[in-house]
Each structure stands twice: as structure tokens, then as C-alpha cells.
Chains A and B, each alone.
Chain A
Amino acid sequence: MADVALPAQSIPTTSSSRAKALDRLRMGDVAFRILTRAAAITVLVLLGAVIVSLIDGSLPALRAFGLNFLVEERWNPVTERFGALAPIYGTLVTSVIAMAIAVPLGLLIAVFLTERCPIWLRRPIGIAIELLAGIPSIIYGIWGLFVFAPFLQQTLQPFLITVFGPVPVLSSLFEGPPYGIGVLTAGLILAIMVLPFITSISRDVFDAVPPVLKEAAYGVGCTTWEVVRHVVVPYTRVGVIGGVMLGLGRALGETMAVTFVIGNAHRISASILAPGTTISATIANEFTEAVGDLYTSSLIALGLILFVITFIVLAAARYMLMRIERRVG
């Protein structure tokens, strides 16, 4: 290949000039390798710097509260007693609600687009989903507050309260006055926000399944469900999990949209209609006017916790992928 690319006059005639030319090429290679390595190391340095400054910033809070910080529900800026349990709980619950809705819905859309959709409809739906991903989160927040929350307040929430009211355990899950905003609303908004990630990645990997595999399955008489269940999904597992994890990462860290609709109360309620808070919403709400070292330090400690949660999620995803690959391979 290199010979072909070289201009004719630079083809070396003597062995010394040939060695020189090779040296030059090798130098270029080395330089390129150093360049790419430096770029990669930059990421590590940045990440390290973020970790160090997060730990450094949260030291006063961790020193004052210790591990109690993780299990204390109270968050009182007046007495400077802080605990992260309510934001951690809110972060996890809203993300679980979001994933419980977005994963099945996203996969169904992706299956429809790749297996069942008429060609003329494929492009409009695909573009609509990618546009969803391009909407800034503040727009979701404003829409959630002004349009979505009042809608839920009048429709879904009263419905849930009356339907599940007489059911023993579920009644406490759907208890209380319909505020419109709350943990459930935040979860629903998050579901809409992560849907495009899951859908477009799943669609792309579903598209990559060799047609011959599917055709063979159809050939032996499989239904569409069986093809999807036994051919498409096993073949694309790694990619689908990647898309789900990307969506989960966004759901865990999403700030603006959640802040608008979650109700921002530092409380843990059994009911998912009640107001709650998340880690990033708390930081966004309170950081600007937080006066006092312990207060700001506690907010930074919340950031550190979110960082750790995200890390654990990513590590768990990697581990799952590794196990799948080992079993398959």
C-alpha cells in the first residue's frame, strides 16, 4: 500500500536513501503514536483531576458526618446537619421508573422499525426519535412544568389514586393529593429523555444482524416474535446493553428537567406521587446561595456520591458484558 501511495519520483534508488525514507516514515509513526497517546492520557488526567477535587471538596463534610452522611435523611441548612439519603433515594427511584418505561418501549420501537415498519414510515419515525434526543433538557423541564405536570395532575394521578386506593401495598405507593409534580412525573420525563438513546442504538444494532440468519429462522417457520427473541436479541445483546447503559447514565445525571418537576423536597416518601429530590437537582438548586463551608462541602460530597454511583453502574455493565461474552465465546 505504501509503495502505491508514494509519488513516483520519491521511490528511492540507493539503499541509503531508502533507509532514510523508511526512518522518516517510522518517525511519523512514532509521532502519531505519541499524539494519540497524549490525547488518551488527557482524558485520564481530566478524570483524575475531577476525582481529586471532588474528594478534596467533600472532605470537610465527610469528616464532620462520616459514613452517617450516606444514611441520614435530614438535610437542614440552618443547623448544618446534612444527610444524602433522600437525594440518593430520589436519584435511584426516578432512574428505575425511567428505565422501566423506556427500555421496553425503546426496544419495541426498534423492533418495529427494523422488522415490521413499511419503508416509507421508517425515515419519519427515525428522524422524530433523533430529534427527541436533540431537545435541550431545559426545554423538557419547562414543558414538564407548564404542560405535562398539569396534564398528569388531572388525568393519570387521580386515576392511579382511585384505582390503587383499595389495594393494600400499592395504595401507599400511589397515595396522596395529586400535585402534578413529584417523583413519578420526574421518572416519566426522564423516560422520554432516554428513549431516543435506547431506541436509536437498538435500531442500529438490530439492523446489523446478518439478514441470512433472520431469513433462515423465518424459513424454518419462526414468527416475528420468535425471530426477535431467539435471533436478533441474542445476536445484539452487547449493543443493546450499551444503549441501555448510556440511557441510564443520562437518567442518573439529568439535572434541569428533573429540578422543574420533582418537587424538590428532602423527604423519602413511600408514595411516588409525593415530591422528592435527586442529587443533581439538589446541587443545582442550592449551590449558588449556599453559605458556609460545611454546606458547600456537603453539596460537593453529593457530587462525589453521584460519581461513585455512575461508576458502579458502568462497572456492573462491563461485568455483565464480560460474562455474556465468556458464555457465548
Chain B
Amino acid sequence: MRPLHTIALAGLFVAAGLMAAAALDISGAGATFPYPIYAKWADAYKKQTGVGLNYQSIGSGGGIKQIQANTVTFGASDMPLKGEDLDKNGLVQFPTVMGGVVAVVNLDGIKAGDVTLDGPTLAKIFLGEIKSWNDPSIQKLNAGVKLPSQAIVVVHRSDGSGTTFVFTDYLGKMHADWKSKVGSNTSVEWPVGIGAKGNEGVANNVAQTKGSVGYVEYAYAKQNKLTYTKLTNKDGKAVSPTIEAFTAAASSANWQSAPGFGLVLTNEAGAASWPISAATFILIHKQPKDPAAAAEALKFFDWTYTNGGKMAEELDYVPMPANVVTQIRKVWAEQIKDASGKPIFAMAH
């Protein structure tokens, strides 16, 4: 009996230790795309408050499953959940930070920003309908640029990715055929092209293959100085991918139109708007099992909206515009409550 006692006691101690750790740290799981900025924020937040963040970047699918199973305080997803899914699971959804998606090319003598594409053309390229770079529809957008009569090689992501979701959502809005034949998701049935793993895989395949075109996250394209294209936005203006262009798209969007701020910022209006950008989302229970932990999590995100903007820009993410943050805080105060119906988050601002 005595060894059993010892084991039971040891187990109790371990459990107590785990509970103590859980009380201190905020736990979350999900999307890989925002992981670098969450880690950076968490580091700064811990230095200031002593509260750490334990974020497992296991992918959006895993994040959604874990928050449904209630094993974490918050889940994170690149793809927004639909209103009915949120209601069914009693979840609140809000965006934390945004990123852009850019098209990159490999053509002799072409530098970043030299080539301009628009949505319908990009969709036709990825459908395999436009096969050569000197196709009239590309040449029309690029008067004065000498385009080679080279075959277009399409490179896409092979791993499931929020980047793919945003990009295919954009193509679907720009071309009816894309919407009906392919659709949009974290991975799709690509009509043409080769699949490469991760941003680095796409970038490398594009770099190696003359005449290729692919899409990567803005941060990755910028840090690796890839040859991005300009895109024509909804207002008919050719824009370059910059933080300002992403912010312009976010500010002009009508965030209240979608339940849980579930907007994908593709083809937004505004002369300065970049047409393909998107936010990444947090999921949290409306009536959390552990209100104290949920309150800590909300405090953390509240702090990131106030103090995290500069850190986000350093990593080439785009902070949420102030008007959106005000709406998010309002939703927290109104919707997230403990068992007695008392709001967990108090509007301090």
C-alpha cells in the first residue's frame, strides 16, 4: 500500500503544480500565421505583468477543435468561423492583427512592382486559362513593359494555410468561374500548377522557375525581397503592397456587417486599398468555464491593442484600426459573461 500512497501523493503534487501554472499563464492554441507576433507580444507582456502566454501554434483546425473541447482558454484561426458555427458553440470571435498576401513572379529583367495584374487576370492565370506572359490581357495592364512569350508556371501552397484561404477568396470574388469550379478554403483542388510547402517553399520554387507566379504572405515577401507585382484594386488603381495599403483596406471595411468580425478583406473599396489582406481571429467562449482565465486572456489582448501596434509593424503585421478595436472592446463587455451573467471584461477606456 505504501508505494501506492506515494504515487498518489506525487500525482496530487503534479496536478497542483499544473493548476498553479494554469492560473498564472494564459493558454491558447491555433493558427501558425500569427504565432511570431503572439510570441513577441507575450514576451513583452510577461515582462510587464508577470503573466505568460502558452500558445501552441498547431494550426487553425486544431485551434478550433481545442476551444470547442474547452482544453484551452482561447483558440486562434486564420479562417473566420461562420455566424451559425459561433452561435452553435457559444463562441465570440474577434480579430487581433492583419497581414497581406502578395503575388510574386520570376521574369527576366522584371523587378518588384514592375508588373501590374488585376483580379480577373490573376484568376485566369491560376485557372490555367492564361498560359503565356505575353497574353494580351496581361500586356494590356502593362503598357510599356516588355513581357516575354514564356509559359506561366503556377506555384501554390501545398499545405493547408490561411494564406491560401484569403487568396482563393479573392480569386472567387474576381472571377465567377473560380467561385464555381474551385471555391475558397485553406486548401483547394488546384486546376494547374505545382504545390510547395510553406511560404519558403513557394518562394523557392518561384525563384527557381523562370516564368513562374505564386502567392506568399506580405511579411515573407518583404523580408526576403521577393519580386512582388502591383495589383489593381476595386477603385481601378494599381497599388503596391504596403502597411498603409493594408490599413486603408481595413479602415474602409464594414466590420459590423459580418458576425464575429468575420470579414476577409479582399477587394475592399478605397483608392489606396490593397485588394488581398485578412485578419487572423481569436475564439473564446461566451460563458467561459474558467472566467478568471478568460479575463486574463482578454486583458492580454486589450493590452496588445493598446501597446502592440509598433511591435506588429516591426514584424510586418498590420495592427487593427482604432475604430475596429473600439467595436471589439464593446463586444467583449456585452457578450462575454460569467455564470452569474456578470461581464468579465470591464471597459476601462
Q: A residues within 8 Å of B by Cβ?
A: 74-79, 145-146, 149-150, 153, 177, 179-182, 259-260, 263-266, 275, 277, 281, 284-291, 296
Contacts and interface: CB of A to CB of B under 8 A. Distances in A.
A77 B197 contact: no
22 contacts: A74-B189, A76-B188, A77-B186, A78-B183, A78-B188, A146-B204, A150-B208, A179-B194, A181-B194, A181-B205, A263-B158, A264-B196, A265-B193, A265-B194, A285-B158, A285-B160, A285-B187, A287-B61, A288-B62, A288-B160, A290-B186, A291-B64
Given A291-B61, A291-B79, 16 more contacts: A74-B189, A78-B188, A146-B204, A181-B196, A260-B197, A260-B201, A264-B158, A264-B195, A264-B197, A275-B194, A285-B158, A286-B160, A286-B187, A287-B160, A289-B78, A296-B61
A263 B194 contact: yes
B196 A78 contact: no
Contact of A289 (B160, B184, B204): B160
B208 A153 contact: yes
Contacts of B325: none
Contacts of A277: 158, 195
A291 B60 contact: yes
Nearest to B197: A259
Contacts of A146: 204
B288 interface: no
Contacts of B187: 77, 285-286, 289-290
B61 A288 contact: yes
Contacts of B61: 287-291, 296
A159 B182 CA distance: 35
A77 B161 CA distance: 12
B209 interface: yes
Q: Which 3 A-B pairs have the closest CB atoms?
A: A289-B160, A288-B59, A264-B195
B150 to A, nearest CB: 11
Interface string B153-194: 100001111100000000000000000001111111110011
Nearest to A79: B183
B70 to A, nearest CB: 18
B153 A179 contact: yes
A265 B182 CA distance: 14
A267 B182 CA distance: 15
B34 to A, nearest CB: 14
B240 interface: no
B151 interface: yes
A85 to B, nearest CB: 13
B159 A285 contact: yes
Interface of B: 32, 58-62, 64, 78-79, 151, 153, 158-162, 182-190, 193-197, 201, 204-205, 208-209
B195 A263 contact: yes
Contacts of A291: 60-61, 64, 79, 186
B195 A78 contact: no
A101 to B, nearest CB: 23
B58 A78 contact: no
A204 to B, nearest CB: 36
B160 A75 contact: no
B205 A288 contact: no
B180 to A, nearest CB: 11
Nearest to A281: B158
A169 to B, nearest CB: 25
Nearest to A149: B208
A232 B159 CA distance: 47
Nearest to B211: A177
A123 to B, nearest CB: 38
Contacts of A181: 194, 196, 205
B153 A177 contact: yes
A289 B76 CA distance: 12
Contacts of B58: 288
Contacts of B160: 77, 285-290
Contacts of A150: 208
A75 B161 CA distance: 16
Given A149-B208, A150-B208, A177-B151, A289 B186 contact: yes
A275 B195 contact: yes
Contacts of B158: 259, 263-264, 277, 281, 285
A79 B153 CA distance: 26
A60 B166 CA distance: 28
A161 to B, nearest CB: 14
Contacts of A182: 194
A153 to B, nearest CB: 7
B185 A77 contact: yes
Given A77-B186, A78-B183, A288 B201 contact: no
Contacts of B159: 284-286, 288-289
A294 to B, nearest CB: 12
B179 to A, nearest CB: 10
A153 B60 CA distance: 35
Q: Among B58, B153, B159, find the residue whose CB has the most chain A CB atoms closer than 10 A.
A: B159
A78 B186 CA distance: 9
Nearest to B168: A78
A150 B183 CA distance: 32
Contact of A180 (B79, B193, B201, B208): B208
